[in-house]
A and B are shown apart, each in its own frame.
Chain A
Amino acid sequence: MFFHCFKYGFLEAVRQKEIVFWVVIFPIILGLLFKVAFGSVTEKTKFDTIEVAVVVSDENEMFKSVMDGLSEGDEALFKTSYCEEKKALELLENKDVAGVIYGDELEVTVSQSGIEQTIIKQFIVEYKANVSVISDTIKTNPQKLSEVTEMMNSELKANNEVKLIDGDYDPMVSYFYNLIAMTALFGAYMGIFIPIRNQANISQLGARKSCSPIKKSVAISASLCSAIFVQTICMIICVSYLRFVLGIDFGDKLIMVYITAIFSGWVGVALGFFVGSIGKMGEAAKIGLYTAVSLFLCFLSGLMVMNMKQNLEKIGLGWFNKINPAAVISDAFYCLNVYDDYEVYTTKIITMAITIVIFAVLGFIMTRKRKFKSL
């Protein structure tokens, strides 16, 4: 009996056009739009190696060694071409290089203004300043030369990247995490239908089912399991689409992203099941109620307004976002995105699991009634 109801619960869910749209098609479309929009942003802001022509005498070993150092590696600042002045100016005219650096005079010639040209000029300014400091130190206080060079190195260290995660951090990924969270909350629409279609006082189908010799607990469990099953598939499709079709880089935590997405989807279904079991309202009213509730929860979780979490903490309501499903889901993804360890993440997953159990149990309690005062 359970599998009979599960089978048809599954067919019901996958054939509901509204559900298919919000849980499958909408994330695909929005994900594609995100990719197109943010893809061009990241392309534009991506740092390219600057091609420069350097005119320098063979004796100026120090400048040459600095330029060579800056031209090494995968993310080199410069791609340097040593040549005569005439050739250098020819390259500049043909726009083969962004500028010409005169190493002996420490001067720069550019043919236009732009980010690359500004970087070349700024490099020469800083080089001049450092050379000046070092030569002054040698002249006036040579014993402090080592301290000066050490200080210069420490300044460099202060600007070093502090890595929280393995792999490359892409801030744009957080938008895709939010997209997954949103898809998870849309799963609630599947949950809403469960009490509606099993309660005799809400729908004709509920009344019809109540007349049949199936235990209500079995009917509701089967419907809930089928909704969870469908939502799990939808979340897997969503994450797989983002990762393998759009090529979104979730770092080396893809499995964790899948797990978090699936758990989030279950939270959505359980939340919908709970909302669906409240009162005697019809289908449209309950969907409206859930939409309002989910928007409110998203608002409080800071998905709509920046600093909302901090504002809530200021007025002593910071605890709310520890149980707010929207906040818990977004926090779980944030942990994956930012932290290298799983301590906070595990707390979020446990919170999600408790949320699922609480909403499911409350939903069951509220739908346990079999006989009504009015239909």
Chain B
Amino acid sequence: MENVVVKIENLVKKYKELTALDHLNLEIKEGEVFGLLGPNGSGKTTTISCLLSLLSFDEGSVEVFGKEMTPVNYEAKKQIGIIMQNVAVFEELTVYENIDYFCGLYIKDKALKKQYVEEAIEFVGLGDFKKFHPKKLSGGLLRRLNIACGIAHKPKLIILDEPTVAVDPQSRNKILEGIVELNKQGATIIYTSHYMEEVEQICTRIAIMDKGKKIAEGTTDQLKRMIKNTETIEIEVKEISDEIISEAGKLPHVYEALHNDGKLIIRCSGGKHNLIRVLDLLQNNNVNFGRVYSELPTLNDVFLEITGTALRDSE
């Protein structure tokens, strides 16, 4: 049986009248890349803060490495690497000094610390910027520095709270590749984000959160199987009668057909050759059409179907 690294049971956190976390349960196993997906304000960062014992909570319990997490659980803290949502580095220290400072809070042996710092710098690709001060770094490089400060001591559990916010695509890819690499090296990862593509790309298991509650949990495939939608067909159509739209809605496996913004949108549940049947219908009724798209469901569809709002709409 895989070891449980983090166990959160019935966690309730209230800010006066607002319930930020509502009986949240999570179990994260060793070696996982666990994604916490949800719109802004869904409770992801609050969950992380409670997990790290920075925030007090009203009910429930948090265990890390099998022991209750408290502010003085230094043994657990030694094995955790944290990359905060906002960059937390010293403006007055250089890249090397920042990493050395944070690594030194965990590693006492000077030689080992030096080795770890060098490895972290190489890992995030900041070798040419060792003597730079954070102010001189671009947003992407600053994020990489933030990551290096969190992972230099080679923690067993790495928590990344929205590490790619406001990061250019090149740096984002570098960061995501790095996270996968860290996982390959043996670290358990908790990754929070509101970017479903990222979570889908790197996470082995995902919990979707909304309004402080976990609304779904599983692998990407498991989550997608939870919903009715299996295929969304979009066809550029300028003019189409209501009768044809209605006819399209009655095709096998189609559960929704609508014309919106110059596009005919058909949502299907299961079945094969759905696209061919829709195109045949349009041709038989002499409807002119442009580009055709067929998309498999995304995590946004999962979120949409469960909550009634799109992930991006809720931000």
A binding-site residues for B, Cβ under 8 Å: 1, 4-5, 8, 11-12, 15-16, 200, 203-205, 207-215, 370-375
Contact = CB atoms under 8 A, between A and B. Distances in A.
Contact of B108 (A1, A200, A210, A215): A1
Contacts of B89: 205
Nearest to B50: A371
Given A371-B55, A375-B54, A8 B82 contact: no
Given A212-B105, A372-B55, A205 B77 contact: no
Contact of B54 (A16, A205, A210, A215): A210
A9 to B, nearest CB: 10
A211 B54 contact: yes
Contact of A211 (B15, B77, B97): B77
B255 interface: no
B89 to A, nearest CB: 8
A210 B48 CA distance: 13
A211 B108 CA distance: 17
How extensive is the interface on chain B, given as a class?
A: 20 to 34
B171 interface: no
Contacts, number: 79
Contact of B84 (A11, A204, A212, A372): A204
* In the complex, the 9 A-B pairs of residues with the closest C-beta atoms, listed nearest first: A370-B71, A208-B88, A15-B92, A204-B88, A213-B77, A213-B74, A212-B105, A4-B104, A213-B78
Given A15-B93, A204-B87, A213-B78, 6 more contacts: A8-B93, A203-B88, A207-B84, A208-B84, A211-B54, A373-B56
Contacts of A207: 49, 54, 84, 88
B195 interface: no
Given A11-B92, A11-B93, A212 B56 contact: no
B102 A212 contact: yes
B91 to A, nearest CB: 9
Contact of B86 (A8, A204, A212): A204
B55 A373 contact: yes
Interface in B113-154: 149
30 contacts: A1-B108, A4-B101, A8-B104, A11-B93, A15-B92, A16-B92, A203-B88, A207-B49, A207-B54, A208-B84, A208-B88, A208-B102, A208-B149, A210-B52, A210-B71, A211-B52, A211-B54, A212-B102, A213-B74, A213-B105, A213-B106, A215-B74, A371-B53, A371-B56, A372-B54, A372-B55, A373-B15, A373-B56, A374-B15, A375-B49
A11 B88 contact: no
Given A204-B84, A371-B56, A212 B106 contact: yes
B43 to A, nearest CB: 13
B54 A214 contact: no
Interface of B: 15, 49, 52-56, 71-72, 74-75, 77-78, 80, 82, 84, 86-90, 92-93, 97, 101-102, 104-106, 108, 149
Nearest to B77: A213
B15 A370 contact: no
A211 B80 contact: yes
B93 A12 contact: yes
Nearest to B113: A4
Contacts of A372: 54-56
A208 B90 contact: no
Given A204-B84, A205-B90, A208-B82, A370 B55 contact: no
A374 to B, nearest CB: 6
A208 B80 CA distance: 11
Nearest to B48: A211
Contacts of B105: 1, 4-5, 209, 212-214
A210 B53 CA distance: 9
Contacts of B55: 371-375
B80 A8 contact: no
Given A8-B97, A11-B93, A371-B71, A212 B54 contact: no
Contacts of B86: 204
A89 B52 CA distance: 96
A213 B78 CA distance: 6
A15 B15 CA distance: 38
A292 to B, nearest CB: 25
A373 B149 CA distance: 26
B54 A200 contact: yes
B74 to A, nearest CB: 4
B58 to A, nearest CB: 10
A205 B56 contact: no
Contacts of A210: 52, 54, 71
Contacts of B149: 208
A15 B75 CA distance: 33
Contacts of A213: 74-75, 77-78, 105-106
B77 A212 contact: yes
Nearest to A201: B54
A105 B238 CA distance: 127
A8 B71 contact: no
A307 B27 CA distance: 70
A204 B161 CA distance: 13
Contacts of A215: 74
B155 to A, nearest CB: 11
Contacts of A204: 84, 86-88
A302 to B, nearest CB: 37
Contacts of A1: 104-105, 108
A224 B97 CA distance: 20
A214 B102 CA distance: 10
Contacts of A371: 53-56, 71
B42 to A, nearest CB: 16
A375 B46 CA distance: 9
Contacts of B88: 203-205, 207-208
